[in-house]
Amino acid sequence: MDDNGARQQQAAFASAFARAELTPEELWLRYFALGGSYGLLEVEGYLHGLLDLPGFDRDVVAHAVNERLDELAWHRRASYTRTLRDSVPLGAPLAALTSLLEGAELAPPERLPALVAAAGKELGIRLTVYVVDYEQRHLRLVPPAATSFEATSLDLETTLAGRAFRRLEILPAESDPPRLWVPLLDGAERVGVLAADVATHDDLYDPGLRTQCRWLAMLIGHLVVLMARYGDSVDVVRHQRARTVSGELVWSILPPLTAGVDGFVVSGAVEPRHAVAGDAFDYALSEDTARLLILDAVGHDLRSGLIAATVVAAYRAARHAGAGLYEQARLIDEVVEGTFGDAAYATAVLAEVDLRSGWLRYVNAGHPPPWIMRAGRVVKPLPGGRRLPLGLGQSREFRLGEERLQPEDWLVLHTDGVTEARDSGGEFFGDDRLADFLEREAAAGYPPPETVRRLVKAVSAHQNGRFQDDATVLLARWTDSSQILP
């Protein structure tokens, strides 16, 4: 743009800003919320023509002003005697969302790629879906093309798409055609990425288009998970290896690998993912309480999976009935012993976190103790609440373990398959290596699901990719909800 064009653009912007009835501080807050990176002084200097901003940031400032103008224009519309609803979507973003919603009704999973492509056409872009495999090593195209695996698979560690998935960031690719990589989420759980091919390189930095792609990615992420419940075609794309019967059983009872409410996020993983037998976890999140379970059933076969499934079912039954930790453990004892006899048991940790105060109460039934990580350091294991493994009965009274969490604390739960993983020389992964790993990951600023993924990868690498025992980890991060809720 030449100097004359730049002056005309600046004059047009100044006129629009004056009509928007915003203070510089209010404009900066809107600009920053949309992804702008410059400070108030720089934005105010741009308002007065004292300095320039890069093209992307000029567009973000303009978008913030235009959003405000839209708000003001709405209030100037002629009024009706009653509120009338729009029967036809107004604008491409809403048309894209409604196209996807209406198309998904009674649609088989095989139709998902076509539905997504149709929604993209409403925005004038081309959309394709990549889902992460269950080993969380590759992003795989839906549907896979009839070519080699490499042509339909993107490495999670080395590609821009993988980085968007790992960091939960929308990332531009200056490719031909230009492309946005958008994280695909089901709530807080990472499902894959959305590839959005746009018309021009300028579109890569359009804040409005990025927001619209994020909306679509959220809805598509829900549909991927929903369709996997009643059909196989999308879900099988995520399988790199066939599951064993016990693996299918355990996966059928697991909750989403990641979930969150307000200031609490929980994320877990089980390994080996295709053949897990006796490890499992469960949780339930509400407005004021998080309830967690991690368990390791005796054995390494289908019977172990049946014990694990029975423990989870009994835990949920007690939880749904409003039972506390004592009663939950007692019911699990009775059901496991009554179903499998006195040779069956499971070690476990059952925990409850008050999300308002951070107060943690827990039972440790013969399991590795929970850890607390605070300010990026593993500060201590929690030694309380100990009792016999579930299914062996309650031989003596015990006291619940208690701990007061501080904001930003991490609660670390794991089975012995993590710390007792052995390399070719017989050396354990061990508590020290686990603590060192967690502290390094905290310093790198990874969110819980990425920390879990990287931890599982490290444990696998320690034993040369072959799990000698089931290994399960459950990480939870708590932030004082009073800092988030109004």
Q: Quick one: pLDDT at residue 70? A: 73
Could you tell me which residue, 361 or 395, shows the higher pLDDT? 361
pLDDT at 29: 80
Q: With cut-offs at 50, 70 and 90, classify the pLDDT of residue 155.
A: very high
Distance of alpha carbon 108 from alpha carbon 113, whole angstroms: 11
Confirm whether 92-235 and 243-483 share one CATH topology.
no
Q: What percent of the chain has pLDDT over 90?
A: 58
The confidence score (pLDDT) of residue 223 equals 94
At position 273, the amino acid (one-letter code) is R
Task: Return the residue matching tokens 């459950």.
Answer: 474
The pLDDT value given to residue 432 = 93
The whole-chain average pLDDT of the chain stands at 87
Q: What are 372's two structure tokens?
A: 């607390």
CA angle (484 as vertex; 480, 486 as ends), nearest 5: 120
Give mean pLDDT, residues 107-129.
Answer: 92
Domain ranges, ordered by start, for the chain: 3-75, 92-235, 243-483
| Rounded CA separation 307/298 (Å) | 8
Structure-model confidence comparison of residues 313 and 443, the more confident one: 313
Alpha-carbon Rg for the chain, nearest whole angstrom, is 26
For the stretch 136-139, contacts whose Cβ atoms lie closer than 8 Å and that sit 24 or more positions apart, written own/partner, are: 136/269, 136/453, 136/456, 136/457, 137/240, 138/240, 139/165, 139/192, 139/193
What pTM was estimated for this model as a whole? 0.78
- What is residue 293's three-state secondary structure? strand
Q: Return the SS3 of 206.
A: coil
**Amino acid identity of 303?**
R
CATH topology of domain 92-235: Beta-Lactamase (3.30.450)
Contacts of 94 (CB under 8 A, 6+ apart): none
> How much is the pLDDT for 150?
38
Q: Tell me the per-residue pLDDT of 161-199, one tens digit each, with 9 for 90 and over.
A: 999 999 899 999 988 899 999 999 998 899 999 999 999
Pairing mode, strands 386-387 and 401-404: unpaired
Order of strands, edge to edge, in the sheet holding 371-374?
258-261, 264-271, 471-478, 409-414, 371-374, 377-381
pLDDT score recorded for residue 395: 55
> What angle, 0 to 180 degrees and rounded to 10, lies between the N-to-C axes of helices 302-320 and 325-340?
140
Say if residues 388 and 395 touch (Cβ distance below 8 Å): yes
Tens digits of residue pLDDT in 319-350: 999 999 999 999 999 999 999 988 899 999 99
Q: Is the pLDDT of residue 84 over 70?
A: no
Q: Output 447 or 461, whichever has higher pLDDT.
A: 461
pLDDT at residue 88, as a whole number: 44
pLDDT of residue 467: 87
Higher pLDDT, 305 or 103: 305
Q: How far is the CA of 466 from the CAs of 75, 138, 239, 298, 417, in angstroms?
A: 64, 19, 18, 20, 12
CATH 3.60.40.10 correct for 243-483: yes
Mean pLDDT value across residues 142-169: 79
Q: Which of 50-64, 264-278, 351-365 has the lowest mean pLDDT?
A: 50-64
